[in-house]
Structure 1
Amino acid sequence: MKQHYAYFLLIAAFIGLTACKKSIGLDPVPQNKILEYKVSNLKDTVMYGSINQLNNTITVYLPVVYGLSLIDPEIKVSEGATLTEVPVPVDVYDQKKKYTVKGKDGSTNTYTLKIKVMNPVKLDVSWPAFNLVNGEMIAYPNSDGNFIGNFNAFGQGLLRIDLLHKKTGKLTVINDALVTWVLASPTQSASLSFNPAIDTGVYQVKVKYYDQEMTMKEPLHIIHRQPDLLMPSKSVKQGATISFPAFNSIFLGLKSARVKLNDAAAYDLPVVGFTATEMTLKVPDNFPVGTYDYTALFTFEFENWKSVSKLGSLTVAAK
């Protein structure tokens, strides 16, 4: 019995020694990783994204007080690896941004960027009370408007403003509103410009501020108003054309234009053409040469609107 036991131990030892000579190879470490994601457009501040290599995500936690509309990344990848596209600034509202890393072995790996804004205050926005007329905020094409809110930051492009036309369902998005501080006030003011081509009508307004949003209690009502224009100084030759821009309104049904010189003779300025924001007029060939320093009285006529008269500075040279 002892002899059999000794024989068994001898065989077991032999097998153990043989097994020790074998080496089990480990899978090579992938060389297609993002190792560091740094936000580079913060003055005197360094911020890094949190990289999760298991689910291939990069999360940037952005304090609202920085007031960033874009983040500009610097990205480090595995040795010998490259990004398939050059990193560019990312809109903070872009939740679909992806980065693909190509390793030196040809393998690829794709990461999804997540931007989370840390804002402890619930969004609260409203129109200034003095701008409300019969429970509506009144505004005009080619003009500016504003509202107030607790943004705790300032800058341009921080907000996304959705204007939903209540009758047609057409959606207009404004993403270039400028947020500024209001003196002696805990709130900030957001100014926005209404496109000259915006449809008139009543709109529901939704304001998005990073990961929060709020619908305005009162609607926005876009209406037309009396056409008006700016009168910059003009120098022109006989027979040439001059142009004037619209001011806080759009041109509607421009019919005619004329100018009266030094309280004397009046000359028609034929309308060559006009858009919502600019009119072009022709100076007659027989227009008197001279400089009329705010002694030229221009009069413009519009369909269904009052005529507009303005003094302007006009210099006319011989053709």
Structure 2
Amino acid sequence: MKLKYQILAGLTAILAATACTKTETVDAPALATNRVLEYKITNVSGDPIYGVINDEKKTIIAYIPYYYYLTSLQPEVKVSDGATVTPGSNTLVEDLDSLFFAAAPLQYTVTAKNGTKATYSLLLETQQPELGMEAPEQDTLLASYTLDEAPYDVQSRYTLRGKNFIVNSALTVKPEVIFLSADNKAYPAVATSAFATSDGVNGSFSVYMPYEANIPEGKYRIRVVNYSRQVILENPVYIAHQVK
């Protein structure tokens, strides 16, 4: 009997404790008023491209299929009520090919009504395959020629081979080649030819070398750029001036 009373007393205490417990409602923290709510790229055929917004990291990631060959973006930017954004909504982002390799990303600054600011970085992902390039052999010598007793240079050529290239003559999307000196100065090739293969993806192309007057003799690394991808070839080449 004593045990029964002890059990009843324990249950009574538990019920009393439960009855005294209060449920408190905690309000969610207020959202910042200087946010990017939506980033929508509209200068594409079909459905627009929506950027993925990360408020914590302050980034906007835009996944752009490389086969669109976009050279500019026209985004609609929606921000918090009463806020403003710089660059403004529908401001054209030009020279997209340069932005792929810029040292710093394009940034959008959102200013709330109370003056507080937040800066979002635009990150571009094209999902273009990495370039595969055959490196030149060690100690490869390239010559830029000057014709004897002639007032002009001879444009020499050099052949490069690679894979995963995007080539679209209608949109002038093709490989670009830059020669980088030991002090990191850039000397662009005059031009490159079309691919030697019909698929426009894997094969070889000719590099029309810089003229003698435009590039000093010396050792150079070769940088190959194709739309949103670039690669610096492993072995350097040596450029010498010769007279024919």
What is the TM-score with the length of structure 2 in the denominator?
0.60
Name the aligned partner's letter for residue 231 of structure 2: E
For residue 198 of structure 1, what is the aligned residue in structure 2?
A: 215
* TM-superposition CA deviations, 1:96-134 (whole Å, max 9, x none): 22211112232211111222332345522567xxxx9x9
In structure 1, which of residues 131, 146, 153 is the aligned counterpart of residue 166 of structure 2? Answer: 153
- Check whether the contact 1:68–1:158 (CA below 8 A) recurs between aligned residues: no
Q: Look up the match of 2:124.
A: 115
Note if contact 1:164-1:203 (Cα within 8 Å) is conserved in structure 2: yes
Which of 169, 191, 198 pairs up with 1:184? 198
Task: State the percentage of identical aligned residues.
Answer: 22
Cα distance, 1:74 vs. partner? 3.3
- What is the CA RMSD across the aligned residues, in angstroms? 4.3
Instruction: Identify the structure with bigger relative contact order (alpha carbons < 8 Å, sequence gap 6+).
Output: 2
Corresponding pairs, count: 205
1:137 correspondence with 2:142: yes
Higher alpha-carbon Rg: 1
Aligned to 2:83: 81
Cα distance in structure 2, aligned partners of 1:220 and 1:205: 11
TM-score normalised by structure 1 residue count: 0.48
Per-residue CA deviation, residues 242-289 of structure 1 (Å, 9 max, x unaligned), is xxxxxxxxxxxxxxxxxxxxxxxxxxxxxxxxxxxxxxxxxxxxxxxx
Structure with higher strand content: 1
Q: Which has the higher helix share?
A: 2
Question: Is the 1:36–1:77 Cα contact (8 Å) retained in structure 2?
Answer: yes
Question: What is the distance in 1 between the residues matched to 2:39 and 2:242?
Answer: 49
| Counterpart for residue 249 of structure 1 | none
1:219 corresponding residue in structure 2 = 237
Secondary structure of 1:213's aligned partner: strand
Q: Which runs of 5+ in 1 are unaligned?
A: 227-319
C-alpha distance in structure 2 between counterparts of 1:95 and 1:215, whole Å: 20
Q: Give me the whole-angstrom Cα distance separating, in 2, the residues matched to 1:74 and 1:175.
A: 37
Q: Which range moves more in the overlay, 96-105 or 69-78?
A: 69-78
Q: Is there any run of 5+ residues in structure 2 with no aligned partner, and where?
A: 1-11, 146-152
